[in-house]
Structures are given as structure tokens and as C-alpha cells.
Amino acid sequence: MGHRPKDLPAWQAPDDSRRMNLLVCEETCDAKDICAGLFWLHPGHETEADVHPESAEIYYVVSGSGRLVMDGEEYRVSRSQTVYIPAGVDHQSFNDGDEDLCYFYAFAAPPPGKTKQEQQGRNRIQ
């Protein structure tokens, strides 16, 4: 089953600092064991610190550059890099570049409880 991001659920942060498209999840294709999507962090913004206690996560940097802090250690990320974030590791992204920092992300299985969109009060825009 194939979809284009523009045809799938999209969420915008209340402060317009970031946006995400859910590509693979229970809502889009009944996937209960994996979640994947695209995430854009606009220049000059940062995410909240995040942790997935039961799920490892990967990022593939689609575009942009910035800093990624994992358990207190800072790393530079830029286009075409892949990052592995083990389960239970605190992580936070900072876009100190001139263009959107875009990640393709994936983790299995989706963390239990409320979705990140619900927890952070993101607005559904699509």
C-alpha cells in the first residue's frame, strides 16, 4: 500500500516550530507493531526532550542540519546520516541551521499510552 505524505495525517506544533506526517501507523495502514513518519523542525527551534522506554528509534536525516543530544552527549547531524537511539535514551534535537531539519523516523512497537501529538497538544492540519 503506497501513500504520499500530503495524503496522510499531518500535525503542527501549537507554536509552529515543527510538523510531522504519520506515514506508517495504526491510523494509516493498521500497523500495530511499527510507527514511521517524517518530522520537520524549523530553523532556530528545538524539540522537547523525549524518551521511549520500550522502543528503540532510528532517524535518517532527509535534509538540514542541527544538533542531537542523547543522554547528555551532543552530536552533529546532517543530511544523509542515520542515527540509532536505543530504548530508554533521552534525546532532543536542535535546529541551528538555515533550513528545516527533516528526519525520517521509525520505531517498533509504538510506545503505549497517548501519542506524542496528543501529549504535546499538536494541531491536526491534514
Report d(CA 28, CA 62) in Å as an integer: 21
What CATH architecture does domain 5-124 belong to? Sandwich (2.60)
Tell me what pLDDT residue 2 has: 59
Cell output for 62 = 532527509
**Mind listing the pLDDT tens digit for each residue in 65-77?**
999 999 999 999 9
Tell me what pLDDT residue 32 has: 84
Mean of per-residue pLDDT scores for the chain: 87
Does the predicted TM-score (pTM) go above 0.75?
yes
Tell me what pLDDT residue 29 has: 84
- CA of residue 125 relative to chain centroid, distance: 16
- Give ∠ CA 65-71-92 in degrees, rounded to 5: 40
Answer whether residue 7 shows pLDDT above 80. no
Question: Domain map of the chain by residue range?
Answer: 5-124
Torsion of CA 43, 83, 57, 90, to 10 degrees: -70
- Give ∠ CA 66-15-104 in degrees, rounded to 5: 40
